[in-house]
Amino acid sequence: MKLSKILSIIMLMTFAAVSAQAKQPVKGLPAAHAEAASHFAEEGTLMHGALANVRINSPFVDLSKQVEKSVDRNVEELVGEMADFAASFLGTRYRLGASGPKQFDCSGFTSYIFKKFGFNINRDSRSQYTQGSKVAEGDLRPGDLMFFSSRSSGKGRVGHVGMVVDVYPDGSCKFIHASTKHGVVYQKFPDNAYYSKHYIGAKRLIGE
């Protein structure tokens, strides 16, 4: 660490201690000196300005924001890899109860993709819907799971699942899933047709 940064840290610690204690009477310190110390910490004084300057130039300024950005970037990269891996199965046949890699049903597909990247999620779509945090339709992002009712599950009950891979500026998205008719395919949402009518909700299991 550079000498200037070390000095900044020492100054910050020293000034913080003075600022916190300046208004507290110190044992054995003459009243005039205590009053002067208190004055140094007041807004607009040289000491207050020095404190502000140290905070601005500290090497730790916005460190938490940098960490958050780093985490977001790591999640984005991970989800991108998951989407690419999922895409490698486009065209794979659908089979009820199959968990891959040669055949899948919808939840077998999502659980297979997530497990490949260290996420051991539940096997069936209804149980997967109990995991993660709820996501509003307008806040969807790649990696989220979308849930739908199906002909077999009945209206209002989870029976199908897919994973978001793209979100567009107009608020629509694209998800990948194992379709009963076409196998693993992409689907745009909303489609103003089957999937719009059967949509139940979405959950976020990555980067909660």
* Residues involved in catalysis: 106, 160, 177
Give Cα 33 to chain centroid, integer Å.
51
Strand, coil or helix: 89: coil
Q: Cis link prior to 101 (omega < 30° from 0)?
A: yes
Containing 184, the helix (H) or strand (E) segment is strand 183-189
How many C-beta neighbours within 10 Å does residue 142 have? 20
- Closest Cα to residue 87, out of 185, 167, 179, 160? 185
